[in-house]
Every structure is written in structure tokens, then in C-alpha cells.
Structure 1
């Protein structure tokens, strides 16, 4: 008996692309580029990504002198490299680092490579197996077609002297040798999904809500209305266009300029010769989009936060109780530090692997650890000041109704809580 799950599909499809000698990153070979655009359009997703990147990079290396070393001719420091790969790790769960060697087979330069620019070489081809293709426009945003001549192939990272000799010989000497790529990929032989791939549809939903709100503002929150009027006499003026287009009448132009947030309080005057020529505006009922979108927005935001595994207190800190002394945020920071500890360890191990083969010893103490974000950033003074202000409010001689309203709207208490405090 055969079984199958008709409603579950693979998020990405990996197929060989013989034209470019790579494995496609999904059917359009642009999965990372699509996810970047979706995250960029979703405020909550962008905030969650930034929070993850911040906690993975932490406060930098414990050995600060190690982080200050410049590791290539462009002035890149170890700390800047850490922040760059932590940003990729936070979203794509992987990262890439390009290294090149000197004649002593030691790493002489280290460069950051954007994860979205990396594609694995076609394993069925001897020329591209164990290689990676680097190209900055797989999504075809700049050019309509991918230019094969601009794709750079790098060998897979392997610091073994014998392997490097073989690679240099195959490249035609040191002058033609392009180095290796250290490619961290949690899926090993497959492309990884982004951190919150299970909720990427919510990125698109939140972006749509943002666009809807913008349209509501630009149209002045006007209700949906149908305009009934006699056929335009101005149609005769458009005969030169052979009926392909119609020039807007003056009435249409006036109605268009009447809409929008900047057109509020304007008066439009419409003249008509007889009663039959009088335009009729007929509103039609639609759903209460305002409430509908508000509910959707809250649920979408919650799912995105859950998808990135970020504590809600670090995203919606303003919704915390007014009597909080910072304890909730401190606990959230400790929790998120624990959640991202494995990521920091993986970055530390990558740095140790690479810079242990560097041509000079830039970390004599061999301390590769990354400092977590300290929980002390949740300042207790904020909660103390809020508590003092509430106590002062409760002891003031103002009416109880005013106290209750202040507790509800200024400090976020519920009606029952505010009434109990003022009893």
C-alpha cells in the first residue's frame, strides 16, 4: 500500500543547472533573494532578524585585541566579519567566508561573502563538484540574464597542503588561483531554509496590511462609492485616439484631486444644467476592514515572532506591565542568550578553524569565545520610576475616574485591575 501527503510540499526544490554548473536554490534559483525581499517588507520579520543577529554576534569576542585585527587589504576586521556572518546566520542559518593562501600554504587574506550569492557546484560534473559558484545577481534584479562569464568558482575549503597544491596546479599557478570558500551549511548536502521559513507567508501578509493602511491614508479614508452620471460628451474629443484611450474629463480630474490625506476639508463644486445630468454618488457596504485587519495584524505578528524564536518581550517591550522592574526583559535576554548559544559556538569554532591557519598568530591566548549580550541592559531604573509615578498617582487627590483612566491608557492596566487599585 502506498501512502502520500497531498497537502505537504517541499519548500525548495534543488535541481542541477547544467548551463551554469550549479545546483539551483529552488526552481527559480532565487530562494534567498525572495526571502530577503519578503523580510525587508515585513517590519516584524526585519526586527526579529536584527534581534537574532545582535544576539548571535553578542558583544564581540572576549579577546578584544583579536577582534581588532585587520584581515584583508580592504580593512576588514575580525569583529566586522563576525557581525556580517552573524547577520547571515540569523536569517539563512549559514554563512560563507572566502580565504586565500600564500606560497607557504597559510591563509593570507579573509573576505566575507554574502550567503545569498553562493550556489553549490553541480555534483554530477567533474569540473564543478566540490566547488561553489559566486554571483551577485542570481535573482536577476540588475540584469535580465545571468552572465556565465561573471560567475566565480571557488574550491571547497580544505587547508591541507597537498589539496592546495593540486588546486593551484589545476588553476594554472598562484596568479590564477582564486582561493577557497568556507561554506557553513547546517543541511550539509542540501540548501538550508531560512530561520522562519514556516511563516514566510506571514511576511507577505504583513507587507500587504502595510500597503492597505497606506492606501487608506492616501485616499483620505474615503468610503467606497460608485458614481452614476450621464455619458460624457467629452468622448467626441478623443476621436483622434481611435478609441484606444480616453482623456479624463474635468470632473474626473477634480474628483481625483479631491481624494487623499492632503485633500481633507476641501470643497468640490459640481455644476449641472438639469436634474437628469446631476451626478449620483452611491455608497456600497463593505466589511469592517479596520477591525478585520487589526485582528489579522496581531495574529500575523505573533506567528512571525514565534517563527524566529524571539521572546516577545524583546519585540513588544512597550506592552509590558507598567509595574515591571525590568525583570521580564532580563529573563527574556537570558532565555534568548541560551537559545543562540549554539550559534555563537558555531561561529567561534569557524573562527578557530580559519585563524588557526592564518599566516600570523593574531590570537595568542587562543580564546575564541563570543561574549553574550548582558542582561543588565534591562535597566531597573525604568521600572522603578514607573512604579513611583503610579504610587504618586494613587495618592493624589484627583477623582478616582481620572486615576482609573490614567492607569488604563497610560500604563496599560485592565479595567478591573485599575478599579481594584483605586478602590
Structure 2
């Protein structure tokens, strides 16, 4: 008996790019840039990314004054470097830190490098193997073409004095030496996927729902309609003095202008007048039925949101907390914080190890204790939740001697409960 296992297509393809001396980060060499755009268009994905970054950075280092230490001449502090590295690690699972040395082979300056700007050097080329290429527009968002002259190549992090000296000699002296790149990458000689790569299609779906809702509003929620007519009231005049140069430009007819102005959220009460000479020229509007998009999109939106949250491994109690009950005592959120602290403990430990590795070789002693531990987010933040404070007030209201009608009115207008919910809450309290 033969067993057939279907092949699963790889999420990214890594190919040598001899033109730029790099390994492409997917076929278009723009995987990180595409993921950033998708996350930016998805409110849930953006929220999950921010939550992961916050928990990975925690409350800073245990050494209170450590975060204020400067690490380069541009004013970068250790606290800012931690936040930047944690933000990249939360999405890309990796980060980059640029270091440079002085003549004593001590690290003299440290800089943050955006993870999406980093590409690995072509391993088949002796000139780029063991190096990393930095460029700020791999996705060609600003410029149409990548300028080879602006790509900066840095050596892989290696603090060994002999290795540093060899790199300095190859660069033509200390004045030409560009330093090294500490490239934290959970993969071995490969590019990493983003944290929630398995659900990136849901980012796009949620962004599409947002665009659909916007179009519904801008068209005044008008039903889909077909217009049948024999001839237009006024033909468009598309003749232009420069039409030979701009043949692609068309001018709308007066009817098209009127119909366009008739649509939109601000045009709901307008009246459009269409003139016709006889019955044969009378325009006919015929609506056609389509699926109930409201219900369909509502269901899709909920399922998409749930998958995105799961993809980022964020407890759902930490996302959209306004949907939680006002009567909550915060215990669910505290447990979620503990769970997420455990989930991100390895990330904080890895960051602490990297910072210890780099700054123990710094040209000045900025952490004499050698303690680089990062403080997790405290569970006490759940006690400051607005829902907890509101819950206490609602409990007092339900236990008060006010008439039931007054309680229902306060719950409805002051706290935003729906009337059936308020009535059920009051009746449940009375029965107790």
C-alpha cells in the first residue's frame, strides 16, 4: 500500500540574490515589510503585537538606574534599546543590535537596527558570507529601485580581539571600520517567520472587513442597484486641448456627477432630479438582492479576531477588555497576566543574556552588579482596571434601596447596559 503525503508549501522561500550579495527574505525579499503592513491594517494584530512587546520588555531591569545609562553619542539609553529590541522580538521573534569597538577591542557604542532592514549575506559569495546587509527600503516603498551603493555590510558579531583586528585590517583601518551586527535569530542560518505567521491571512481579512465597513458608510448604506436607461441626459465632454498627451483621462457626465453626490453618509436626505423627454427615456433603477453582509461579516469578524489572538498566544482577557463584565473582580485578568508572564519568560531571559553578553564588554562599567534580569509585568495592574472600579459601583447600586426602575435607568444610561440586561441584573438581585 502506498501512502501519499501532500506537500505543504513553505511560508517563505530563501534564494541567493547575486545582484545585492544577499539571501532574499522570501521571493520578493520583502516578507518583513509585507507583514508590517498587514499588521498595521489589522487592529487586533496590532493590539496583540503591542501586548507581547509590553510583556517582553516588562517593567524594565531589576537594577533601577540601569535603564538611564547611555550607550552611544546619539542619546540612546539601555531602556530605549530594551523597548526597541522587545518590540521587534514580539513580532519577528528576532532583533538586531549594532556594536562598534575602540582600539582596545572594547565595545565603544551600541545602536538599535530595525529587524526588517537586515538581510543575511549570500553564503555562496566569499565577499558576503558571514556578513549582514542593512538597507532601509528593501520593500521599495520610497524608491522604485534598490540602490546598491547605499547597502551597508556589517560583519557578524564576534568579540574576539583577533577577529576584530582582521576585520579592521580588511576595512583599511579603524577610521573605515563599520563594526559588527548582533543578529538574534531563533532559526539556524535561515530567516524566521513572524510570531503569528500561521494566521497572517486573518490580518488581511480583518483589514478587508474594515475597508468594507468604511465603504458602506461612505455610500450611505445604499442598497446595490442597477440603472437601466436608453441614453444619458448629458454626454460627457472628454475633449481636451492636451488629449493627445493625456488620453487616459475621462470626464464624468452630469448624471454621473449627480449620482456620485447623491451617495455618501452626508447625503442621506438629498433629492436627485432626473429629467427625461418621454417614457422611453425614463431611467429605471432595479435593486438586486445579495447576501446579508451584516450578519456574515459580524460572524467572520469574531472568528478572525479569535484566531489572531490565538496566533499571538495572547490570553483573550488582555485583548478587548472593554467587553468583559463590569462585575468582574479582576481575578481573570490577574490570572491572564500570570499566564502571559510565563509565556514570555523565555523572551525576557534571552534579552537579558544578550544585553549581558554585549555590555559586559562595554568600554565602561555600566552595571557593576552584573544583574540583567528583567522585571515581569506585575499583576497589580489588574487592580487598576476601570472595569473593577465600575463593578464595585454597580454592586453598591444593586444593593441600594433605590426603586428597581431607577436602578434599571442608571444601569442603562450611566453604565451602557442594554435594557433587558439591566432588568435581568436587577431582578436577579431582588430574587436573592
**TM-score bracket for the superposition, by shorter chain length:** over 0.9
Residues 2, 186 of structure 1: CA spacing in aligned structure 2 closer, same or farther, 3 A cutoff?
farther
C-alpha contact (below 8 Å) 2:408/2:419 kept by paired residues: no
Equivalent residues in 2 for 1:9-408, closer than 5 Å: 9-232=9-232, 234-235=234-235, 247-379=251-383, 382=386, 383=388, 385-393=390-398, 395-399=401-405, 402=408, 406=412
* 1:100 counterpart SS class: strand
Q: CA deviation at 1:319?
A: 1.8
* Cα distance in 1 for residues equivalent to 2:376 and 2:411: 41
C-alpha contact (below 8 Å) 1:157/1:181 kept by paired residues: yes
* Cα distance in 1 for residues equivalent to 2:305 and 2:420: 19
* Cα distance in 2 for residues equivalent to 1:64 and 1:381: 26
Q: CA deviation at 1:267?
A: 1.7
Q: Deviations over 1:272-315 (max 9, x none)?
A: 23222221111110110011101100000000000000111111
Q: CA deviation at 1:141?
A: 0.9
Q: CA deviation at 1:390?
A: 3.8
Q: Deviations over 1:43-67 (max 9, x none)?
A: 0000100110011011111112221
Q: Deviations over 1:61-81 (max 9, x none)?
A: 111222111111111001100
* Cα distance in 2 for residues equivalent to 1:3 and 1:114: 45
* Cα distance in 2 for residues equivalent to 1:365 and 1:120: 35
Q: CA deviation at 1:380?
A: 5.9
* 2:417 counterpart SS class: helix
* Cα distance in 1 for residues equivalent to 2:80 and 2:385: 32
C-alpha contact (below 8 Å) 1:90/1:195 kept by paired residues: yes
Q: CA deviation at 1:325?
A: 1.0
C-alpha contact (below 8 Å) 1:321/1:412 kept by paired residues: no
Q: CA deviation at 1:123?
A: 1.3
Residues 64, 239 of structure 1: CA spacing in aligned structure 2 closer, same or farther, 3 A cutoff?
closer
* Cα distance in 2 for residues equivalent to 1:54 and 1:321: 24
* Cα distance in 2 for residues equivalent to 1:123 and 1:197: 26
C-alpha contact (below 8 Å) 1:58/1:373 kept by paired residues: yes
Q: CA deviation at 1:90?
A: 0.2
Bigger Cα displacement from structure 2, 129-138 vs 390-399 = 390-399
* Cα distance in 1 for residues equivalent to 2:20 and 2:122: 9
C-alpha contact (below 8 Å) 2:69/2:366 kept by paired residues: yes
Runs of 4 or more, structure 1, over 6 Å off, are: 239-245, 414-418
* Cα distance in 2 for residues equivalent to 1:246 and 1:161: 68
Residues 239, 119 of structure 1: CA spacing in aligned structure 2 closer, same or farther, 3 A cutoff?
closer
Bigger Cα displacement from structure 2, 295-304 vs 234-243 = 234-243
Residues 272, 180 of structure 1: CA spacing in aligned structure 2 closer, same or farther, 3 A cutoff?
same
In the alignment, structure 2 segments of 5+ residues that lack a partner are none
Q: C-alpha root-mean-square deviation of aligned residues, in Å? A: 2.6
Q: CA deviation at 1:385?
A: 4.2
* Cα distance in 2 for residues equivalent to 1:143 and 1:291: 42
Q: CA deviation at 1:391?
A: 4.5
Q: CA deviation at 1:399?
A: 4.1
Query: What is the aligned residue count?
Result: 423
Q: Deviations over 1:9-30 (max 9, x none)?
A: 1000111111111111111111
Q: CA deviation at 1:416?
A: 7.0
User: 1:409 maps to what in 2?
Assistant: 417
C-alpha contact (below 8 Å) 1:321/1:413 kept by paired residues: no
* Cα distance in 2 for residues equivalent to 1:139 and 1:412: 52
Residues 146, 3 of structure 1: CA spacing in aligned structure 2 closer, same or farther, 3 A cutoff?
farther
